[in-house]
Structures are given as C-alpha cells and as structure tokens.
Amino acid sequence: MKQTDRVWTCVRDYLVIFSGACIYALSVDFFTAPNNIAPGGVTGLATMLNHLFFTPIGAMALIINIPLFIWGGIESGWRFIFRTIIATGAVSLLIDLFALWDISYHGDLIIASIFGGILSGTGLGLIFLRGGSTGGTDIIARNLNRRFPYISIGSIVLFSDAVVVALSAIVYGSLENALYAVIAIFTSSKLIDAVVFGFSRDNGKLLIIITSKPAEIADMITAREDRGVTLLSARGGYSKSPVGVILCAVRPHDAYRVKTAVIGEDEHSFIITTTATAISGLGFSS
C-alpha cells in the first residue's frame, strides 16, 4: 500500500471515530447526565461524581481510565490501546466542551433514556466499527477474559454496568433513575449491534485473499489481528503459477482493519470481501 493511501485510510478511520465521539458526547450532555441517568461504565461513574461533587464528567472519565489504559496496554498490547486512548480522549474533551452550552433536555425521563441510548449506541457503534473503544469496562472485560476465558466479555460488561446502575440508585436516591438507566443501556446495546453487526448478530464478512505470501499473511492475521484463517492451495488460471488462497471470516467491524493489514503486507494481493449472512462456530454464534 502506498504511503499516501495509508495516511488517507488512517485519516478516514479517525474521522469516523471522532464523529462517533461527538454523537456519544451529545447523548451524555443532552439526555442522560441532565436527567440523573448514569448509563453504566466509567461515564456512568463520572456522571454520578458530577452530581455529588460538580466535577466535570469528561475529565473524571479520563482520569478513571488512565490506570485502565496502562493495564490494557500491558495485557492487550499498545496497538489496540492507542486508538482507545484517542477515542476516550475525544469523548472526554467533547463532553466537557458541549457542557459549556446549555443544550440539555429536561423533560420526560422515558424520552431522555431512549434517545440517550440511541445516540450513545450510534456513537459507540461508529467508534467500534473503526477498531476503537472508549476504555472503561471494555478494557476490564478484555483483560479478565484473557485470564479467565470461560467468562465471556459480554457477561463482564453486563455485571459492571449492573454495579454502576445499582450505585446510581443510591447516589440519586431513586430507584426510578436506575430503571431509566437500564432502558438507556438496553437501547444503546441494540444500536451498537445495528451499527457494527447489522440487524443480525450471525452475519459477518468473508475475506478471500489470493496472495503469493500466504504463510506470512496467515501468521500476521492470526497473531496481530487475532482471527483464524484457512489456507488453500490453488493455481492461477492464466499464469498457471501456484498461489495461496486464504479464507478468513470476521465480524463486520474487523473486515476493514484486516483488509488494510493484508494490503500492507502484500500490496499485490487480490482480496474479495463478501457478506456472509450467517456464520456459526468459534468466535461467532454457536
């Protein structure tokens, strides 16, 4: 891949991440925080601290995340954490920036929780789609899953959010606020799935990679991208020369990153990316 192409690809990735950060920040400043709804995770903790001590939500979320960044960098590698730091920094900055204007909605809490969840899920989905993360429970879940693989990432995130929601009932002195937080979290999770996976969690992308460097690319995908591959032997119809064919099934949000990495390894590779409407097995649905 040419240097200019790499730069343009990187710029597009970060523009999408920044757009997601803007949408997520609006969900906090416009809907959830003004109505005492703590939508789980580190942002939920920062929202409660803002209610108790008037500390800025974005700055507190970033401070809480710093030790998690260090832990995540040690456990998962700094390559993943770098985009997480960028996304979290953008979200934190934008939350405090938007808070300078009186743009909050005060009204029906059902509307606040649903639309807060819609914006939150859309923003997070865009961030996840380009390999980013907002840190917090994501890092905790990834790291604990590496040490205890029998505990799923989803279960860890769900438990963490449940703890934050339970704390919000105590902090705000209202069980109703905690229930509205559950509505916001549920709505957000559905929007994340819709943005990242489409409307079916079983679907994915199938990459068919034809390359003269099958071993190198297969090792790179399995080691760096943490995805499984299948190697096939083939012969070019015109050249009659032997070539390697790699099959790689990935989640939709992983396809872009894997394709970019493959081109970086072999710029002459031929890649077919197709939508797989249903994938079952390890890493997908059972």
What does the pLDDT look like over 20-37, one tens digit per residue? 999 999 999 999 999 999
In this prediction, residue 269 carries a pLDDT of: 92
CA-closest candidate to residue 221, choices 283, 129, 276: 283
What does the pLDDT average to over 95-108?
92
Read off the pLDDT of each residue in 178-185 and give the average, rounded to a whole number.
Answer: 96
What residues does CATH 3.30.70.120 cover in the chain? 204-276
Cα atoms in the Cβ-side hemisphere of radius 13 Å centred on 120: 30
Q: Answer yes or no: is pLDDT of 190 > 90.
A: no
Average pLDDT of the segment spanning 223-230? 83
Average pLDDT along the chain: 87
CATH for 204-276 (1.10.10.60, 1.10.530.10, 3.30.70.120, 3.40.50.2300): 3.30.70.120
Higher-confidence position of 102 and 104:
104
**pLDDT confidence of residue 198:** 65
- For residue 220, give every residue at least 6 positions away whose Cβ sits within 8 Å of its Cβ, in sequence order, or none: 261, 262, 265
Of the pLDDT bands very low, low, confident and very high (cuts 50, 70, 90), residue 199 is: low
Tokens for 57? Answer: 């939500």
Question: Would you call 284 helix, strand, or coil by DSSP?
Answer: coil
Name the least confident of 7-11, 110-114, 205-209, 229-233: 7-11
β-strands 230-235, 204-211 pairing: unpaired
